[in-house]
Amino acid sequence: MRVVLFGAGATGARVARQLRSSGLVACVEIRDQQADRARRLVDTLGAGTEIGVGRRLVDDTTGVVVATPAGSQAAIARRAVRQGIPVVATSNQMSEVRRLLTLDQPARDRGIPVVIGAGFMPGLTGLLARHASEELDKVDEIHVAKVGTGGPACARQHHRALSSIGLDWRDGQWVRRAGGSGRELAYFPDPIGGRDCYRAGLPDALLLVPEFPGIERVTARRAATRRDRLTAPLPMLRPPPAEGGIGAVRVELRGRVGIERRVIVVGSVERPAVAAGAVAACTMLHVLAGHAPAGAYGLAGIGEPLRLLKAVGDRGVRGMRFEGDTTFFAPAATSSSSPTVNLP
């Protein structure tokens, strides 16, 4: 198998390492606008990787992973679909996710999957939502939230998102919300804990709503400080770091089992670039193994989601379940101080 990886940044580098370590991909061709960065990554990974140039794909390409900055991924994905090559895209930009979703019919016509938003959020959140929903007879609401950013491109995108119009799904229709509004205290796995989260230009609802017919509400928020909100309309005042620190995601589902109302909260904690790299790489391997249906969709619509969730967990990005008032803990543990619990 030969996979072409576009982007050698914080997330792309993790994708390349995961694909090579899988033993299932014979060659990972790495392309990046910064040739030196791609060359350094190839030198680090050694045999089984090579540098590529341009956007043209050779005929023996079996898959494409796009981990370039948001806004540059739709054109690459469209070219791959025209050639009949499966695509895994990591974009978390709302306008670009809309463009990627328009590839649904062309992808179905060619019998290939285009998996959108295969990162930490969206991405892992969609997998967690799909898996947790199996406990409910009907899902009425899904609310997702995130803390942290990956590399510089991710930090810039999150900065822009906080001043952009958000999109909620409410009672069968889309509702536009002002970025930075809707303050809500959300609890994430330790060591993150409680954070104030706000609406932003996040694409999660676009990917979740089609996979849960009849759902009443879907919202997405990101954690932010007062300074984040005040400076969101301005250019970033200082360059973002090469990679952010520890981050977390949270997924809350509300629904029914029979006539009983239930709330399920799951999540994960990890450095966002590490988690996004693991999710994107595992998704590509999942696609190459033939477990993904044709069409364009998010990870909530992937085939055999539990298999993929376990593969991501094997690479250290594990799901957790929320129980109690403010802490995550293992149900089998003797103390509530245990910080993690794997999903079954």
- Report the greatest alpha carbon distance in the chain: 60
Residues of the chain with pLDDT under 50: 326-344
Q: Which ranges in the chain are annotated with CATH 3.40.50.720? A: 2-119+275-309
Average pLDDT for the chain: 89
Cα dihedral 233, 237, 239, 241 sign? negative
Measured distance CA(153)–CA(91) in Å, rounded: 11
Read off the pLDDT of residues 302-326 as tens digits, 9 standing for 90 and up: 999 999 999 999 999 988 988 765 4
pLDDT of res. 343 = 36
- Beta bridge partners, 176, equal 167
SS3 letters across 133-163:
HHHCCEEEEEEEEEECCCCHHHHHHHHHHHC
Q: pLDDT tens digit string along 94-135?
A: 999 999 999 999 999 999 999 999 999 999 999 999 999 999
CATH 3.30.360.10 positions along the chain are: 124-271+317-321
Inter-CA distances, 217 with 130, 170, 174, 244, 266, Å: 15, 5, 10, 31, 18
DSSP code per residue over 72-117? SHHHHHHHHHHTT--EEE----HHHHHHHHTTHHHHHHHT-EEE--
Architecture of the domain made up of 124-271+317-321: 2-Layer Sandwich (3.30)
Looking at residue 339, what is its pLDDT? 35
Nearest to 61 by CA among 88, 22, 37, 41: 88
CATH architecture of the domain covering 2-119+275-309 = 3-Layer(aba) Sandwich (3.40)
Query: pLDDT by residue (tens digit) across 128-155?
Result: 999 999 999 999 999 999 999 888 888 8
Residue 324's pLDDT is what? 62
| Residue 83 phi, psi (nearest 5) | -90, 0
